[in-house]
Amino acid sequence: MKRLEKVKGTRDLLPEEMMKRRWVFERIREVFERYNFHEVLTPTFEYTELFKLRSGEEVVKQLYAFDDKGGRNISLRPDMTSSVARLYVNSFQNAPKPIKWYYIANMFRYEEPQSGRFREFWQAGVELLGSDRVEADAEVIALFVESYLATGLEDFTVNIGDRVLLDEFAKMLGVEDDIGLMRLIDKKDKMSREEFVGALREFGLSDDAIEKVLALVEIKGLPDEVLPKAEELFTSDEAKAEIGRLYELVDLLDAYGVSRWIRIDLGIARGFDYYTSVVFEAIAPNDLGIGSIGGGGRYDNLIEVFGGKPTPATGFAIGIERLIPILEWKGLIPEPKLRPDVYVIPIGGDRKVRKTSIGIVRGLREAMVRVDIELTGRKLRKALDYAGRLGVPYVVLVGRKDLEAGKVTLRDMKSGEQKSLRKEEVAGEILKILGV
């Protein structure tokens, strides 16, 4: 019979990997909830029309889209923002604002797998709906920074750009397809300078316009250095107002204590067309070939696209598949401990021995001790060998003769020392040894 392999672009996550993943999730979740964001989970699949409304027909190429048995065209979610927006429009338009939701869930995109990119992947993100104020942008970006810090990562930057300024720039160049230009600019870091120039020329830009684009994408660095340059470049009232918003945002982020990680990069476009103002992404230097490890921005028009009342919104998503390899590379994730703290071995097949052993296991588990029990009927020597291979520090031996005296044996696997205890004393002794 032919052996079936896993589907391309997916992975089997083994216990060690799942423990590391859960550790990362828990660190991020703690920060999300400190900021008073509340967890939601939407269906794994939605009507394909939801994603077409947001990004057009072209998006179908990147979707796992199919007709179900009822003839409905549905897709596995490629991100959560669209689903959260749909949820909001369905049930929460009249709820008190702002609404602060977070999620940690798997997504699906039909893309060519590469470093840090899979067809099934996980994201941790937040959406803040109902505030158009710069305070909401600052709250979300500060949370973005603190989410990475919670995992122990400190060597990263959050680069902030602005779609309003990019729109204004496209107008200055006389470009009608501003979305097409933004998509090109968004891909600049994946191309050499020559490739980027060639793509801009193929897009139809003149040499003078290309030089202006190259100058724009170099406007990046510390806010105090970059924003004055932006004021010189942009002259329209709308652009000046947006630069003023960026000044205010930077000032608020300083109040949050995260300025150390903030940079301005006017060449950031982000891939989604629905962003309307501030956009941002996190970059952590690495030798793994991994670029952005997360990003987000303001999307004030998306709710209307889905049939809702005008509602400002902002949010972000952290790329878990990109973050975890960097954390591992830096040695920031604790080594997973798969072994139990205690292993209970019933000696022989006596019914009373087995029931007493289970009673000891139950008592230890109720005391929150990680404990396992011999389940395969191994003889004592083989059971001890198995415990040794697992690295179990303590073994409880339950034998018929000891039980006749109401005793069991506690064995220290490292020293080999053994201690006879009344069976009622086992839990207390273990807790004392483990310092619980």
pLDDT tens column, 73-106: 999 999 999 999 999 999 999 999 999 999 999 9
Length of the chain as a residue count? 436
Q: Which residue has the tokens 């193929």?
A: 202
The residue ranking higher by pLDDT, 377 or 436, is 377
In angstroms, how far is CA 51 from the centroid of its own chain? 21
Lowest-confidence range among 113-117, 192-196, 285-289? Answer: 113-117
What was the pLDDT predicted at 192? 79
| Nearest-angstrom CA–CA distance, 116 and 56 | 26
Q: b/e for 97-132, b at 16 or more Cβ within 10 A?
A: ebbbbbbbbebbbbeeeeebbbbbbbbbbbbbbbbb
What was the pLDDT predicted at 262? 98
pLDDT reading at 309 higher than 70: yes
Lowest-confidence range among 162-166, 214-218, 316-320? Answer: 214-218
Dihedral, 373, 376, 378, 384 alpha carbons, nearest 10 = -30
| Nearest-angstrom CA–CA distance, 23 and 3 | 33
pLDDT reading at 197 higher than 90: no
CA distances to 13, 120, 408 from 3, in Å: 19, 22, 47
Nearest Cα to Cα of residue 216 among 166, 281, 275? 166
Q: Which residue has the tokens 């939601």?
A: 40
What tokens appear for 313 in the block? 């919104």
pLDDT above 90 covers what percent of the chain? 75
What was the pLDDT predicted at 349? 77
Decide the pairing of beta strands 313-319 and 120-129: antiparallel
Mean pLDDT score, 183-189 = 74
pLDDT reading at 40 higher than 90: yes
Backbone angles phi, psi at 156, to 5 degrees: -160, 165
What was the pLDDT predicted at 55? 76
Lowest-confidence range among 92-101, 145-154, 210-219, 262-271? Answer: 210-219
Angle CA(331)–CA(334)–CA(340) in degrees, nearest 5?
150
pLDDT above 70 covers what percent of the chain? 98
pLDDT reading at 177 higher than 70: no
- Name residues whose C-beta falls within 8 Å of residue 45's C-beta, 6 or more positions apart in sequence: 74, 75, 76, 77
pLDDT reading at 252 higher than 90: yes
Mean pLDDT of the chain: 92
8 A C-beta contact, residue 394 and residue 426? no
What was the pLDDT predicted at 272? 64
Domains belonging to the chain, first-starting first, are: 15-329 (3.30.930.10), 342-434 (3.40.50.800)
SS3 content of the chain, % helix, strand, coil (to 5): 45, 20, 35
Q: In this structure, is the dihedral angle defined by the CA atoms of residues 398, 401, 406 and 411, taken in order, positive or negative?
A: negative
Task: Provide the 10 A C-beta neighbour count for residue 266.
Answer: 27
- Tally the C-alpha atoms within 13 A of residue 416's C-alpha that lie toward its C-beta: 1
What was the pLDDT predicted at 32? 98
Decide the pairing of beta strands 292-298 and 278-283: antiparallel
Mean pLDDT score, 272-301 = 92
Residue 335's H or E segment, with its range, is none
Task: Provide the 10 A C-beta neighbour count for residue 194.
Answer: 8
Q: Which residue has the tokens 């305070």?
A: 135
pLDDT reading at 125 higher than 80: yes
What was the pLDDT predicted at 115? 65
| Nearest-angstrom CA–CA distance, 377 and 382 | 10
Q: For residue 149, name the pLDDT band (cuts at 50, 70, 90).
A: very high
State the pTM of this model. Answer: 0.91
Mean pLDDT score, 367-396 = 96
Describe the crossing of helices 163-173 and 178-186 by its angle, rounded to 10 degrees. 120
What was the pLDDT predicted at 80? 95
pLDDT reading at 107 higher than 70: yes
What was the pLDDT predicted at 104? 98
Lowest-confidence range among 189-193, 260-264, 360-364, 416-420? Answer: 189-193
Angle CA(315)–CA(317)–CA(319) in degrees, nearest 5?
170
What tokens appear for 413 in the block? 């696997």
